[in-house]
Homo-oligomer: A and B are copies of this chain.
Amino acid sequence: MKLEEAALKYNEQGLIPAIVQQHDTKEVLMMAWMNEESLRLTLQTSTTWFWSRSRQELWNKGATSGNIQHVVALYADCDSDTLLVEVDAEGPACHTGSKTCFFKKIER
């Protein structure tokens, strides 16, 4: 469906969480936030754009690091309040150099 038909629900800050998954290995790489503009840019450029809550600015993932995420497919969930972005990632997703941001295992 087109973005207009998806009737996405943004939160009070105008943001929606976007889960980023490597399309072939299915590894979950990171979660970040999009606003409507970053989502439009993501669809237009087929690379991931997010809204940085700490810097209060748009960021195109990989623009400075080179670790670009090429968008393969993008889904909204049943409630239209979360996105899943399947990508082909160049380089690590995490600023620590790890492939995925989810490397801290929590146990009982």
Q: Which residues of A contact B (CB under 8 A)?
A: 1-3, 6, 17, 19, 21, 25-28, 30-31, 43-44, 73-80, 82-84, 94-96, 98, 101-108
Contacts and interface: CB of A to CB of B under 8 A. Distances in A.
* Most B-side CB within 10 Å, residue of A3, A21, A108: A108
Contacts of A78: 94-96, 98, 101, 103-104
A104 B6 CA distance: 8
A77 B106 contact: no
A31 B43 contact: no
> Oligomeric state, in number of copies?
2
Contact of A104 (B44, B75, B101): B75
Nearest to A84: B102
Contacts of A3: 106
Nearest to A44: B108
A23 to B, nearest CB: 11
Given A28-B84, A75-B103, A78-B95, 9 more contacts: A1-B105, A6-B106, A26-B26, A31-B77, A73-B105, A76-B102, A77-B102, A78-B104, A83-B106
